[in-house]
Structure 1
């Protein structure tokens, strides 16, 4: 590899990624590793075994975030963090999240192989419930850690079966004893697949991520009236699903009005009573908007609730709309971003500067710790899908850049 004789082991990285992918493996080649389930527990335990085999000290905080520490030469220096998450979507891919954790593990393994002792300690993090697919609240572990959400509020969140986060943590044995709050750290680096088509389309090997989009998320409930599909004429209908369809169409229109930078999605829909011969009386669904510019999201948050309410009331129904959270656009730390840029240049990789369209744990960590992200391409930009795919050499390139950036930061002159 040009530019360095300190190489990660690309085959070991890939083999470990495939090993983790056996935990929760699906028939279509993806993974189902929902947060705080027995499958998630199995992934956490294997991660712990790998870390402890390297002599790393693993600790768990009160929301289940896991930190694996490698000591540096100077114990008084703040640690350099790296990581991502091991939980998945219900029908997720092998690499979303897991790449960042396993690549961090490979960095730790390579440091040991190369007999490198960094000046500062290094910690590898597995954040709890980045995906939000079980309890409806993404970036949960990093959000609690960063002080965005209170621990009590998150413990009380329930899944569709009524299981609370606090109960689920206890059930799998990962309600840790350490406080879930920011501790002093020098930097945080996160490697992730792009989850979009830009790098692949442009033939770039590494995405130098300069920040993340602004977002606003809602839970919506539309209440109409259940009635017989065959005997209820149009004038007497209060069809909650029709009202929801009007709102969903508006979400799409608002997105498209903002061009290629616009994002608007309804990804969850629950119809009640969900019988083919009953006019639906209640619909619950999610709404989210994203954009690189804060003002666009603030404008949507100001106008969308009234527009949605008008559409629902015109259909004889009532709307309950709850804003779950609003995340401002998050720029990443210029010095950390520059280390990613320098690492890629040293290795001879082609790069592109990019703003993340997805939310990542790095977005919340960046509020407390200087942060940067590294993207690798994924085939057809496909993610949150069992067909999600990257090449072994793409994983290796991202991991090698992570190695360069983390080691450079951990050895920087103070």
Structure 2
């Protein structure tokens, strides 16, 4: 429908929901989720489907050397850098049907709505499906947007191996070859801005009964690998005073950190995701304990303070137990703040469309983080049931799917002169 009696252009909600069903069938799991990992045969099928849908509407189809897929609707002035809208199509091994796909298909619905009603825009609008946002089959995640922002593919990626043993270079080459009829374009090109719709992946919007979140930035993330080394000894014959027990040091230090970091700062995050002991014998004090720490905060200075606090606590407790400590930083991603002017565009669009919203910082990183390094970027969040994501039970109500697309349409029209 073009107009719901309020003078504004409306997306075709039924079509959007049908598209979501159509893509969810590619890699569908028995529990209603999706297993469509990056650069697999199923990922290629989803890319081909999007390309076919775009050609059927008269749009141009492109890909770049990292296999980012672009669907282009021409504007009146070809000299203006295009507005880029989209997300990704790959999923986790037992992922949901909305993570990534919702943003990509909301963006495609914007193009279709403009085409349906013959809306001419000064600026070209392009939908993008970025490659390997999830990072579960090949690391790191956000390969497509990272390479786009850098205008290059890191050489180290070429020899990367997937969790199933496949070589990245081979899978990328096959993915590029399989997309029939897509013109190749250079990696990275000027854009005016980038907008991305995504499910919140948290419970706050649902809990507060809000249909829209306007994302003002993405918090920084650091991954640490901690190894505490002690001395293996017999579990039954070694008294406490003779022990150099790295497990005791790990547990006592983590107790302090769990009671300290997040309770004292609601914006901070601290997570242990991996934990291993060597030699792993039931009747031996371990020689070493290794675990990961994922720390996050939207402020760079606070992130530094959190890491410093962690290192001190770990060192103190390792020393108290006669153990050695090694802390290696595996990953460091600075926080991103989206431009105020672009965030204001989203707020104006929400007001015009009569959507209640809240401003929020994203706890997870997305393609928008990397594109924001080369062009103004911002994000629109939709609620998801119980905040579940990366889970086959992931669910977004139809009304919220449509609201996300409507918000993207209203915001895009402001930016392209429709």
Q: TM-score range by the shorter chain?
A: 0.7 to 0.9
Contact 2:261 2:306 in 1 (8 A): no
Is 1:302 aligned to residue 305 of structure 2?
Answer: no
Local SS of the residue matching 1:290: strand
The yes-or-no answer on 1:343 pairing with 2:349 is yes
The residue that corresponds to 1:215 in the other structure is 221
Does 2:291 match 1:288?
Answer: no
Unaligned runs of 5+ in 2: none
Contact 1:60 1:174 in 2 (8 A): no
Q: CA RMSD in A?
A: 3.2
Q: Matched residues in 2 for 1:77 and 1:189: separation? A: 17
Is 1:187–2:190 an aligned residue pair? no
Q: Residue 61 of structure 1 corresponds to which residue in structure 2?
A: 64
Equivalent residue in structure 2 for 1:105, among 85, 105, 108: 108
Q: 1:67 to 1:28 in 2, by over 3 A?
A: same
Matched with 1:384 is 390
Most deviating of 171-180 and 294-303:
171-180
> 1:404 aligns to what?
410
Indicate if the aligned counterparts of 1:64 and 1:175 stay in contact, CA closer than 8 A: no
Moved more, 70-79 or 324-333: 324-333
From 354, 364, 368, the counterpart of 1:362: 368
What is the alpha-carbon distance in structure 2 between the residues aligned to residue 137 and residue 250 of structure 1? 31
Task: Between 377-386 and 397-406, report the one with greater CA deviation.
Answer: 377-386
Q: What does 1:154-193 correspond to in 2, within 5 Å?
A: 154-173=157-176, 178-180=185-187, 182-193=188-199
Q: Is the Cα–Cα contact under 8 Å of residues 166 and 175 in structure 1 kept in the other structure?
A: no
Determine the C-alpha separation between the residues in 2 that align with 1:189 and 1:392: 21
Aligned with 1:67: secondary structure?
strand
Mean alpha-carbon deviation: is it higher for 126-135 or for 389-398?
Answer: 126-135
Answer yes or no: is the 8 Å Cα contact 1:241–1:283 preserved in 2. yes
Aligned ranges for residues 32-181 of structure 1 at < 5 Å?
A: 32-147=35-150, 151-173=154-176, 178-180=185-187
Deviation of 1:234 after TM superposition, in Å, equals 7.0
Q: Secondary structure, in 3 states, of the residue corresponding to 1:261?
A: coil
Q: Does 1:322 align with 2:342?
A: no
Deviation at 1:248, TM superposition (A): 5.3
1:126 aligned counterpart, secondary structure:
strand
Corresponding residue number in structure 2 for 1:263: 269
Deviation of 1:113 (Å): 0.9
Secondary structure of 1:344 counterpart: helix
Runs of 5+ consecutive residues of structure 1 not aligned to the other structure: none
Q: Is contact 1:248-1:266 (8 Å) kept? A: no
Q: CA shift at 1:100, angstroms?
A: 0.4
- In structure 2, distance between residues paired with 1:143 and 1:119: 28
Task: Tell me how far 1:320 sits from its aligned partner.
Answer: 5.0
C-alpha deviation, 1:126, in angstroms = 1.0
User: Does the 8 A contact of 2:228 with 2:324 survive in 1?
Assistant: yes
Give TM-score, length-normalised by structure 1. 0.86
CA 1:353–1:279 in 2, change beyond 3 Å: closer, same or farther?
Answer: same
Instruction: Give the aligned partner of residue 19 of structure 2.
Output: 16
Measured against aligned partners, the alpha-carbon deviations of 1:246-290 in whole angstroms (never above 9, x if no partner) come to: 665565345324332121122345667778788777766542111
Q: Secondary structure at the match of 1:81?
A: strand
TM-score by length of 2: 0.86
Q: Say whether the 8 Å CA contact 1:30–1:385 is kept in structure 2.
A: yes
Q: Is the 8 A contact 1:63 1:175 kept in 2?
A: no
Deviates more, 1:115-124 or 1:327-336: 327-336
The equivalent residue for 1:374 is 380
Q: Which moved more, 1:363-372 or 1:241-250?
A: 241-250
Shift of residue 392, structure 1, vs aligned partner:
0.5
Give the Cα–Cα distance (whole angstroms) in 1 for the partners of residues 152 and 231 of structure 2.
35
